[in-house]
Amino acid sequence: MNSIGKFFRVTTFGESHGFCIGVVIDGCPAGLKIDANKIQNELNRRKPGQSSISTNRDESDKLQILSGVFNEHTTNAPICMIIPNNSTDSGYYEKNWMNPRPSHADFTAYNKYGGQNDYRGGGIFSGRITASFVMAGAVAKQLLSETLGITIIGFTSSIGGISVPPLSYSEIIRNTELNKVRCPDNDTALKMIQAIETVRNEGDSIGGTVDCIALNIPVGLGDPIFDTLEGELSKALFAIPAVKAVEFGAGKKFSEMKGSEANDPFMILEGKVITKTNNAGGILGGISTGMPLVLKTTFKPTPSISKPQNTVNLQKLEETVITIHGRHDPCIVPRAVPVVESVVAIVLADHALRAGYISPVLEEKA
Amino acid sequence: MNSIGKFFRVTTFGESHGFCIGVVIDGCPAGLKIDANKIQNELNRRKPGQSSISTNRDESDKLQILSGVFNEHTTNAPICMIIPNNSTDSGYYEKNWMNPRPSHADFTAYNKYGGQNDYRGGGIFSGRITASFVMAGAVAKQLLSETLGITIIGFTSSIGGISVPPLSYSEIIRNTELNKVRCPDNDTALKMIQAIETVRNEGDSIGGTVDCIALNIPVGLGDPIFDTLEGELSKALFAIPAVKAVEFGAGKKFSEMKGSEANDPFMILEGKVITKTNNAGGILGGISTGMPLVLKTTFKPTPSISKPQNTVNLQKLEETVITIHGRHDPCIVPRAVPVVESVVAIVLADHALRAGYISPVLEEKA
Amino acid sequence: MNSIGKFFRVTTFGESHGFCIGVVIDGCPAGLKIDANKIQNELNRRKPGQSSISTNRDESDKLQILSGVFNEHTTNAPICMIIPNNSTDSGYYEKNWMNPRPSHADFTAYNKYGGQNDYRGGGIFSGRITASFVMAGAVAKQLLSETLGITIIGFTSSIGGISVPPLSYSEIIRNTELNKVRCPDNDTALKMIQAIETVRNEGDSIGGTVDCIALNIPVGLGDPIFDTLEGELSKALFAIPAVKAVEFGAGKKFSEMKGSEANDPFMILEGKVITKTNNAGGILGGISTGMPLVLKTTFKPTPSISKPQNTVNLQKLEETVITIHGRHDPCIVPRAVPVVESVVAIVLADHALRAGYISPVLEEKA
Amino acid sequence: MNSIGKFFRVTTFGESHGFCIGVVIDGCPAGLKIDANKIQNELNRRKPGQSSISTNRDESDKLQILSGVFNEHTTNAPICMIIPNNSTDSGYYEKNWMNPRPSHADFTAYNKYGGQNDYRGGGIFSGRITASFVMAGAVAKQLLSETLGITIIGFTSSIGGISVPPLSYSEIIRNTELNKVRCPDNDTALKMIQAIETVRNEGDSIGGTVDCIALNIPVGLGDPIFDTLEGELSKALFAIPAVKAVEFGAGKKFSEMKGSEANDPFMILEGKVITKTNNAGGILGGISTGMPLVLKTTFKPTPSISKPQNTVNLQKLEETVITIHGRHDPCIVPRAVPVVESVVAIVLADHALRAGYISPVLEEKA
């Protein structure tokens, strides 16, 4: 359903062309100072119209906190946040909702809900729903940062096969936000931007990958057998529309490796047990090792392209052709970076609470 | 924790060197005829010692059904099944449990449980726990097959970079079980076997990938936003030790594709809406499209290798070297095939029940 | 936490003196026509200031639907509803929050949340939170009525020991809303009103009981072992502040009965199996029998009384005396009637969905 | 379904006349020393044939621990425990399963499961399933006692209207196990025994109440809004077959009280905030106050009586008469005492873990 998490529990609501997009966080510890500007900043990183390469739809995405914050601090009561919608033109959808857009959720939603779903702008299947992840993720980031010093860094690692070269964590942290594709290597960024502009001019779109790293993770997050850190993260990441693959550490490369190459030997550094390499991506047996968490998500190209496409009319059961109008991102990857970070933050906050690394009351009040 | 599923709920218990490996299924509809031989057959597909390329440990893995089956039919009451353990020699572990094996769960388990975990044979982190998935999966397969005609087919798609060529579903169904690596192309299988034998002789191990296809899936399985079919499947798949990446449909290839290549156009075939291609792997918006479900899992090489490896002694906090003895699979992939199928079956059964495609009582009794 | 239900899942948010009281319903089937007036009417039945015997606080309790309803029908997407707060004067609480009101949640909330809870008007522990139950319950009632013809009837069965005599279901349905205490027997109602006026004049309050009946329940709602209908209903009913006892059918009287008196013999009426008596209150083995569901809840007297009371100052750890000012109900029971009905409706809707008696799509759209 | 709890999660399996009754505990902290004798002792307190006033069925109820205990300590892995069944004679049930016993679950189970349920001895609806609660509860008691010093005391408070007079906690602790009805007042016990013998001779049965007290509860167990301590306890208590009412503190008496009588004033004793009275039964706002937890459960008379009773034949849809043979308790109350205690222990253990009062690892191993 529309909830995730056991202790830091996130419930989303709202539709693309409805009144608002919203989220309820249940279980956030009491006593966390909430900086609404930081939440708004994260929303701004995700919102459309940030640059020449994204859609120019105007969505102000103005945060409203409806509950759960008292004297600028959390109370452990549910935190409800919304961003009202505006600038919605549902004309295209009213005319075309019987003609499902290829590789969108139109067809499955129509079937699952007997045509009762809100099809305007994709309804709850719109990428706009990820604004709710960002609001919740921004709170989770503040929680993780305040209590455990955890930093979560996402970046565009490839677009259309153009990949970032290996970089240090500090380079990634320093450079990611310096260009409009959120690629921490500037030369690669320029090539990516060119690739995006090319497909945009063709009326096409392009896929890519977002990597995410989390630093200062304590040993011991994640539960066997089913609630592994990989399992819980991947489940949450697949909630992001367009994600079609999730990898941890060496990920798919493991399939070509030998054990002697893949295994991460243990060693001692400054009295602490670490691993020499981190092919595991910071997770063994589903549980965090204390090494950086490293994961990669693959995004399919935005299915909304302006080229004519074959589809069917569901009412007449006839084949037909559609041309999607509207202002769509030729590449969703750069805007997806804060969304991936947010989802990772939500899962880590939940597991840090489960494992007792964050207590339900952060700070006693006088 | 050790449970998964909402309606078809699977709870595992047991340790590698304890009394047994067991599973409880809660929520299986009443009136399903249970063929215990089919469950035993699936256990046999997973069990060690099947062929020259797997471990020669002798584990008889004899099924016992403790509850939930009455007159050879399910009753909707919890089904508890166990396989008693035998042939366990814990000597290595008693001597070495303070020296975590690289890329095993030894280190994280020790830290998470304050050294209280059952370390013998890896305890609950052993690959042996997957026998519980197979028992539950065998019931799920019978349920899906009986009610919806769903077929689930896993196969070895690559080992150490040696990949199977594209094959039709019928070739895959026909050929997969004909060789000991469960690769549906015989020439590729021979190369894979050779690769495994090479690493075995080197005291090393090797990774690979298992693909899984499910046919006859109805439209509409999976729930937005968080309980997507991709998300729920991936969470369950990461419960299999050694899985480090999960992809759906074109998976990672999406990152290099354009929308015009990636999109699956809708068309009509025999009065039914299908897609011309199936890059989506049978899932759009987290919901099944009715096309075959297609997914790929990457397995890291077995971390148990007989080459000497660097590690640390956790008690003395000193670096040390270990050599792992014991009978280990040089490549876990072939034995993982029924495990992947089982996990997929469990998740599909759960979602078919949630969506109302399978009713809680299959058949009224006189 | 702040959610209940598995398929019809209700999450509450908001505080007594915060911006609003709100609720999210997840899992409501698609295609239910939503009559917002009916929801508003239920809110009006609960809201304060209805009559001379309840508080004269002015809370307009005006419904806003933020999501999940499209073309006046549900879509299966989460339904978020709020009522904005107004008329809040937090002066008393700002001055006295260190002096917990006896038999309120002030003391436990202060301790559990380290003083970080929103204490104004009781925060989330206020009876005002039950407006969220009423919003969700009103949707559940429409769902149960539309699909299964279920009717849910609550009434005041006793106040301060003044009890309603046995009445037929039709008398209860006809008469309950005719007086301001919601007692279906008018003579008893007059005595109850007098009792309430007496305690109000004394600056005191008084307890009572609310009975609830649900008609047209199908056989088979409720699950063994733990998700029994009694268990699930009671858990939900204890979410209503001030409820301290829950009974089903003959309830507490069973403790004085013999089996031969208590057992409900089966018989056949118009081809249908029914029981001659209904001491079971419509539930056997945790599962509905098809007979009317009958339950009773006991409400403690409102703890807010204007008499001076002994308490302690939590900061100084000194004993002190408080006098609670403010506009409080001398008897909460009459206003609790729609709340009890709502909670029962929520649980029944959830179980009707679990058991497959209500399908996830009520009606296909053209 | 057959599970309860969020952190200390209990799943039951097994049938009355099947192979065994079993339970899986998931989430028990690592490092708890398990005394199997104490578990066996609790099973012995529940088992039939303890005295002249209970059934003389011989059920040895011999504990077997299948998993989760290593070197006599818990490991946090799931603990599976079973008691094999013996002494089962299913003859009566094979002959009569189409004739539901009045006020048993036969009728509802038959309908819910389409006649596929295991009807022998009541299947999973048998009181015998409570042995699984006792096994899990015995572990929970050891956990609560070791970590928080919590003591849980149940006793028979009334049988057939014969009630125990008010007693101090120390009298209750001292005297409850001294007689075969588990009534802490010996004179009352004698009257109760006589009442039971009378109904037994009549072929009848009788109801009663079990009270339960828990001492040394910390402040802060229980969560708003829905996971209140009352709500969670009552849900679990209604899992015990025959429980039809649950009350906390003054319980039903609140309905006749004024606020000035019912409210528990706060005071300071030895530097600690307590309440002068404890009408609240140790819970305010759904959260424990630190005062003793006090609750009362009402048990209906055993529905199995040997007097002829009216019922129907479900196959023929004809009215008929049955006479239940077999060895049944004329009063289940004395044997229910350890069951009530166990259920309370399970819920308290779960909430103590949720609130962080018990940590996931009790003690580090060398």
Distance from CA of D33 to the nearest CA of C (A): 28
**Which residues are paired to C311 by β-bridges?**
C320
Q: Which two tokens stand for residue D25?
A: 């505990």
Contact A11 C22 (CB under 8 A): no
pLDDT tens for residues A143-182?
A: 999 999 999 999 999 999 999 999 999 999 999 999 999 9
pLDDT tens for residues B212-221?
A: 999 999 999 9
pLDDT value at residue D56: 59
CA distance C278 to C280: 5
What pTM value is reported for the model? 0.97
Question: Beta C287-288 vs C293-299: how paired, if at all?
Answer: unpaired
Distance from CA of C19 to the nearest CA of A (A): 6
Question: Among B295-309, C327-341, C343-357, D321-335, which stretch is predicted with the lowest mean pLDDT?
Answer: D321-335
pLDDT tens for residues A236-293?
A: 999 999 999 999 999 999 999 999 999 999 999 999 999 999 999 999 999 999 999 9
Looking at the partner chain, which of A6, A224, A355 has a beta carbon nearest the beta carbon of D360?
A355
| Percent of chain D whose pLDDT exceeds 90 | 90
Please give the residue of chain B at the shortest CA–CA distance from D83: B66
CA dihedral D141, D145, D149, D155 (to 10 degrees): 40
Q: What is the mean pLDDT of residues B301-329?
A: 93
CB A51 within 8 A of CB A3: no
> Is the predicted pLDDT of residue C290 greater than 90, yes or no?
yes
Q: Distance between alpha carbon D112 and the CA centroid of its chain, in Å?
A: 25
- Establish whether the linkage from the previous residue to A225 is cis, with ω within 30° of 0: yes
The one-letter amino acid at A21: I
Spatial CB neighbours of B270, under 8 Å, sequence gap ≥ 6: none
Q: How many CB atoms lie within 10 A of CB D5?
A: 24
Q: What is the mean pLDDT of residues B294-316?
A: 96
Contact A79 C13 (CB under 8 A): yes
Categorize the per-residue pLDDT at B59 as very low, low, confident or very high, splitting at 50, 70 and 90.
Answer: low
CA distance A231 to A239: 13
Provide the chain B residues 42-101 that lie in CB contact (below 8 A) with chain D. Answer: 66-68, 70, 73-80, 82
CA distance B24 to B44: 20
Provide the chain C residues 120-139 that lie in CB contact (below 8 A) with chain D. Answer: 124-125, 129
Q: How far is CA B338 from CA A251, B333, D298, in A?
A: 22, 10, 50
> Is the predicted pLDDT of residue D49 greater than 90, yes or no?
no
Categorize the per-residue pLDDT at D168 as very low, low, confident or very high, splitting at 50, 70 and 90.
Answer: very high
Q: What is the mean pLDDT of residues B320-337?
A: 91
CA distance A289 to A283: 5
Q: Which two tokens stand for residue D206?
A: 């009788």
CA distance C54 to C62: 19
CB B221 within 8 A of CB B230: no
pLDDT value at residue A259: 98
pLDDT value at residue A248: 98
Where is pLDDT greater, at D48 or C87?
D48
pLDDT tens for residues A18-72?
A: 999 999 999 999 999 999 999 999 999 999 877 777 665 555 899 999 999 999 9
Backbone angles phi, psi at C218, to 5 degrees: -70, 160
Where is pLDDT greater, at D299 or B56?
D299
Please give the residue of chain C at the shortest CA–CA distance from B358: C356
| CA nearest neighbour of B290 among B275, B271, B270, B268 | B275
Looking at the partner chain, which of A6, A356, A360 has a beta carbon nearest the beta carbon of D360?
A356
**Which of chain C's residues have a Cβ under 8 Å away from the Cβ of A114?**
30-31, 361, 363-365
> Is the predicted pLDDT of residue B54 greater than 90, yes or no?
no
Which residue segments constitute the domains of chain C, with CATH numbers given?
A: 3-354 (3.60.150.10)
pLDDT value at residue B55: 66
Provide the chain C residues 186-205 that lie in CB contact (below 8 A) with chain A. Answer: none
Tell me which residue has tokens 């539309």. C146
> Is the predicted pLDDT of residue D338 greater than 70, yes or no?
yes
pLDDT value at residue C57: 59
Contact D1 C241 (CB under 8 A): no
Looking at the partner chain, which of B3, B118, B363 has a beta carbon nearest the beta carbon of D77?
B118
> Is the predicted pLDDT of residue D100 greater than 80, yes or no?
yes
pLDDT tens for residues B224-257?
A: 999 999 999 999 999 999 999 999 999 999 999 9
pLDDT tens for residues C235-244?
A: 999 999 999 9
SS3 D91: helix
pLDDT tens for residues B176-206?
A: 999 999 999 999 999 999 999 999 999 999 9
CA distance A243 to B105: 28
Q: Distance between alpha carbon B40 and the CA centroid of its chain, in Å?
A: 16
**Which of chain C's residues have a Cβ under 8 Å away from the Cβ of B360?**
355-356
Q: Which two tokens stand for residue A30?
A: 């009491």
SS3 D120: helix
pLDDT tens for residues B116-137?
A: 999 999 999 999 999 999 999 9
Q: Mean pLDDT score of chain A, rounded to an integer?
A: 95
CB D273 within 8 A of CB C312: yes
pLDDT tens for residues C123-137?
A: 999 999 999 999 999
pLDDT tens for residues D267-290?
A: 999 999 999 999 999 999 999 999
- For the stretch D142-159, what's the b/e string if a residue is b when 16 or more beta carbons lie within 10 angstroms of its beta carbon? bbbebbbebbbbbbbbbb
Contact C14 A80 (CB under 8 A): yes
Q: What number of CA atoms fall less than 13 Å from residue D100's CA on the CB side?
A: 31
Q: Which two tokens stand for residue B62?
A: 């004899």
Categorize the per-residue pLDDT at B56 as very low, low, confident or very high, splitting at 50, 70 and 90.
Answer: low
Q: Which two tokens stand for residue C282?
A: 């419509």
Contact B75 D13 (CB under 8 A): no
pLDDT value at residue B364: 75
Categorize the per-residue pLDDT at D105 as very low, low, confident or very high, splitting at 50, 70 and 90.
Answer: very high
pLDDT tens for residues A121-144?
A: 999 999 999 999 999 999 999 999
Distance from CA of B247 to the nearest CA of D (A): 30
Helix (H) or strand (E) holding D133: helix D130-148
For chains B and D, count residue pairs whose Cβ atoms are closer than 8 Å.
Answer: 177
Q: Distance between alpha carbon C175 and the CA centroid of its chain, in Å?
A: 20
CB B320 within 8 A of CB B308: no
Please give the residue of chain D at the shortest CA–CA distance from C231: D235
Helix (H) or strand (E) holding B320: strand B318-322
Categorize the per-residue pLDDT at C58 as very low, low, confident or very high, splitting at 50, 70 and 90.
Answer: low
| Percent of chain C whose pLDDT exceeds 90 | 90
> Is the predicted pLDDT of residue C219 greater than 90, yes or no?
yes
Q: What is the mean pLDDT of residues A294-320?
A: 96
CB A310 within 8 A of CB B264: no
pLDDT tens for residues A182-218?
A: 999 999 999 999 999 999 999 999 999 999 999 999 9
> Is the predicted pLDDT of residue B280 greater than 90, yes or no?
yes
SS3 B299: strand
**Nearest-5° Cα angle at D346, D343 to D351:** 130
Test the C interface: residue of B147, B287, B354 with most C CBs within 10 Å: B354
B301 in A contact zone (CB under 8 Å): yes
Provide the chain B residues 224-263 that lie in CB contact (below 8 A) with chain C. Answer: 224
Q: What is the mean pLDDT of residues D308-325?
A: 95
Contact D116 B70 (CB under 8 A): yes
Neighbouring chains of B at 3+ CB pairs under 8 Å are: A, C, D
pLDDT value at residue C363: 80
- Establish whether the linkage from the previous residue to B150 is cis, with ω within 30° of 0: no
Q: Mean pLDDT score of chain C, rounded to an integer?
A: 95
Spatial CB neighbours of D241, under 8 Å, sequence gap ≥ 6: C285, D105, D125, D126, D127, D129, D130
Tell me which residue has tokens 């079993």. D22
